[in-house]
Copies of this chain bind each other. A is one copy, B any other.
Amino acid sequence: MAFTYDYPHPAVTTDIAVFSIIEDALHVALIERAADPFKGSWALPGGFVNMDEDLIDGARRELAEEAGVTPDQLDGLPFMQIGAYGRPGRDPRERVITVAFLTLVPMDRVKLVASTDAAKAEWFTMDDLPPLAFDHADILTSAREALSKLVSTTLTEEAKAVFSFLPQEFTLSQAQTMFETIQGQPLEKRNFRKWIQTHWDLEDLKKKTQGGRHRPAALYALNGLSKQS
């Protein structure tokens, strides 16, 4: 079947930078392309947008299809638009404009499975990335910057997203490690604890971790943003 237009149309894709924190290091999910162009290269998961779906839904679907993330794993995860990339020639096949998204997946539920279009799907440390297909290195750089900005600038509803990295019940030390990993710099423990408790509305679950051979830690959950800006 063919589709005909009076004027030339570009193709439109979505690409998704899926971040997670694994062993205290920021990781991103990449797939190895099973088809040309860039067959064998690593790339961000993504693909063509269907005509009847919104951009963000296309991103979700492609992520499910290519990295084998099941829809319920994506449920409730924040998808943030980073921008559109449309340099002519960025795809050797035809004019392709891509809309890039960013998402964060929890430290715990994480499973990548190669499937359609992808030979493999794996986590890579941000410090040790392979060469990427298309202009995905640029996109990933912007995604990394957007992520940092989420925690460094003023508190917004969006910034809540960073807590997706944590399990629902978390300790302040886990939270601290997450912020340190995202910002790429160590934070002072007492100051961090003061800061997070004044800026975020944390619920004290009155529970403690158990099992470590050290003092148990109090568990918290995120309620929402604190009232004062």
By a beta-carbon cutoff of 8 Å, the part of chain A in contact with chain B is: 1-12, 48-49, 51-55, 81, 83-84, 86-88, 95, 97, 99, 153-154
B84 touches A84 (CB 8 A): yes
18 contacts between A and B (CB under 8 A): A1-B6, A2-B6, A3-B7, A3-B8, A4-B4, A5-B11, A7-B48, A8-B51, A9-B10, A12-B12, A49-B86, A51-B88, A54-B86, A55-B86, A55-B97, A81-B83, A84-B84, A97-B99
Query: B10, B11, B52, B154: which contacts A88 (Cβ < 8 A)?
Result: B52
Identical chains bound together, number: 2
Tell me what chain A mostly uses at the interface: helix, strand, loop, or mixed. loop
CB distance from A89 to the nearest CB of B (A): 9
Query: B1, B48, B88: which contacts A54 (Cβ < 8 A)?
Result: B88
Q: A51-B95, A88-B52 are in contact. Are A9 and B2 (CB under 8 A)?
A: no
Given A55-B86, A55-B97, 8 other A-B contacts at CB below 8 A?
A2-B6, A3-B8, A8-B51, A9-B12, A49-B86, A52-B88, A83-B84, A97-B97
